Amino acid sequence: MNEAILRTLLEQVRSGELAVDGAVDRLRLMPLRDLGEAVLDTHRELRRGQPEVIYCAEKTVAQVRMIFAALLEGDSDILATRVPPAMAEALMADYPQIRHNPLARTLVIQRRERTLTETTIAIVTAGASDQSVAEEAAETARVFGNRTERINDVGVAGLHRLLARLDAIRSARVLIVVAGMEGALASVVAGLTARPVIAVPTSVGYGANFHGLSALLGMLTSCAGGVGVVNIDNGFGAACLASMINQL
């Protein structure tokens, strides 16, 4: 459409219908929106083939239903995150092809064949209570086309459990470390590998945990180099970043 306008204008210049000065003026006044989208689309282009993502936490079932319907007109995969149980049920009734991961609180509709990456994103958790966030990360990473490996329950108070998984840690191309409380696992893992570590503080804990603040600050001030931190409980964001890195 924009292109049509542009083409018409240029043809008018060529035909002499429009003077050069007039064309300069019109091009300068041409709404940025149109040019902007043209240019910026190269960006969207890059995303083509990636799943569409719906963050459901502050939406109603009706809103999410509407978005699903719209997205299903396209052909990309769909990932919905932070889906409350009731919303999940409602959507599964609508779309039997949905894959629901209740622990991760995700819904997935996979419509394309996807070859997983050769390289692996390792998802490391400190304790059983971090599983929900790790599962969100794992589900996201897989939907984005990455091979994943889970290394669970290797909190630093029992180092032998962590050291026992050293091979798995070292063979990953990028690692997501999910930990609550003092979040020390990120530092320890980063010290054991030369690969990028994405740290996800979780809100698991109580008292001086202050809803994840202790793990967040701990991870940000990690004494080990090479740790990037995402928001508290943000398994999805960690997987986004890890996927970008893994697919470089």
Q: Which residues of 111-120 are buried (b: 16+ CB within 10 A; e: fewer)?
A: eeeeeebebb
Q: Does 92 bind a second copy (CB under 8 A)?
A: no
Complex with a second copy: residue 63 or 97, whichever CB lies closer:
63
- Interface with a second copy, residue 184, by CB under 8 A: yes
- % helix / strand / coil in the chain, to the nearest 5? 50, 15, 35
The H or E element spanning position 52 is strand 52-55
Is residue 93 a contact point for a second copy (CB under 8 A)? no
Residue 155 touching a second copy (CB under 8 A): yes
Whose Cβ is closer to a second copy: residue 97's or residue 210's? 210
CA-based R_g, the chain, Å: 23
Which one, of 175, 171, 182, lies nearest residue 199 by Cα? 175
Q: Give the residue from 116, 123, 151, 157 showing the smallest Cα distance to 137.
A: 123
Contact letters (x/-) for a second copy, 164-183, by CB under 8 A? xxxx--x--xx-----xxxx
Helices 2-14, 32-47: axis angle to 10 degrees equals 130
Segment contacting a second copy (CB under 8 A): 68-76, 87-95, 145-153, 223-231?
223-231
Select from 127, 121, 201 the least CA-distant residue to 169: 121
d(C-alpha 243, C-alpha 30), whole Å: 38
- CB nearer to a second copy: give 27 or 97: 27
Query: Contact between 234 and a second copy (CB under 8 A)?
Result: yes
Question: Toward a second copy, which CB reaches closer, 109 or 133?
Answer: 133
Site for a second copy in 26-85 (CB under 8 A): 27-28, 31-44, 46-47, 53, 55, 57-59, 63
Complex with a second copy: residue 116 or 223, whichever CB lies closer: 223
Binder among 1, 3, 62, 73 for a second copy (CB under 8 A): 3
| Closest CB to a second copy among residues 2, 110 | 2
Pairing state between β 120-125 and 78-81: unpaired
Q: Which of residues 203-222 bind a second copy (CB under 8 A)?
A: 203-222
Closest approach of a second copy to the CB of residue 99, in Å: 21
